Chain A
Amino acid sequence: MSITIAKSLDLKGLSCPLPIIKTAKAMKELAPGELLEAFATDPGSVPDFKAWAQSTGNPLVESSQEGAVFHFVLKKKEI
């Protein structure tokens, strides 16, 4: 079974707070259970995505790094 990503965000080059702001906006449009992926280059986004996921209750399914690019997958929480 493959995982389908409902939305993909390119946040490369952006600095705090824009990656989280753009992610929060995009997450609003997702249906519960849908996945959003984001690519960022700001190293600060690693702890920020983790903290955002924890405080909003939307699980961070993946947080990985390839070269200078960070890859995040968030799942929209069930209501």
Chain B
Amino acid sequence: MSINMIEKPPAAEAVPTIAEKTPEVAEKLVIFAWSGELDKIWPTLILATTGAAMGKETTIFFTFWGLFPLVKNQVRLTGENWMQKMLSMMNRGGDEHLKLSKMNFAGAGPAMMNHLAKDHHVASPHELMEVAKEMGVHLIPCQMTMDLLGLKREDLIDGLDEPAGATKALADAQGAITLFI
């Protein structure tokens, strides 16, 4: 075989450089809501509703302390044994009973924060939770933490997806923007 039969490689310009490639847009947003505090759940819901508004398939996976905001506001006590009941006494569930991670001042901090939010026409976590449902954000409670903390399905608000585990959460997170809040 003579050397002139060797084909030249395809023209170099066909291979795009990194700078020329259009950035890939993630079509999904998955937020792991681990913290149940007002100042963590609030941005979680702001980002989730915004993600949905940007056309991204959006999921919030609620785990550990993040589950308590999903408890119905009128449910005072959850849990089956004294430890789980004690936990819910110390850490009341519901998106209208959230505490601040700092400057809580026995509830005075959140009260001031909610007052400021009203003055500045910022939607409350409770309102944003409703918007999230309306926009089709998947709200998935973690089954294992529900069992651990003694939270039953009927303790939690309506409009949630089926409780699931870490595998479902990680499968959803493939190719998504992921946040752990």
Main secondary structure of the interface of A (DSSP, over half): helix
A-B contact count (CB 8 A): 39
**Option from A14, A15, A55 in Cβ contact (under 8 Å) with B54:** A55
- Count chain B residues whose beta carbon lies closer than 8 angstroms to a beta carbon of A: 15
Chain B neighbourhood of A16, CB < 8 A: 46, 50, 122
Does A13 interact with chain B (Cβ within 8 Å)?
A: yes
Chain B neighbourhood of A25, CB < 8 A: 53, 135
Q: Determine the residue in chain A with the shortest Cβ distance to B123.
A: A18
Chain B neighbourhood of A20, CB < 8 A: 50, 53-54
Is the beta-carbon distance between A21 and B53 smaller than 8 angstroms? yes
Over the window 137-161 of chain B, the binary record of Cβ atoms lying under 8 Å from chain A Cβ atoms (1 yes, 0 no) is: 0000000000000000000000000
Q: Determine the residue in chain B with the shortest Cβ distance to A24.
A: B53
B-binding residues in A (CB < 8 A): 13-18, 20-21, 23-25, 52, 55-56
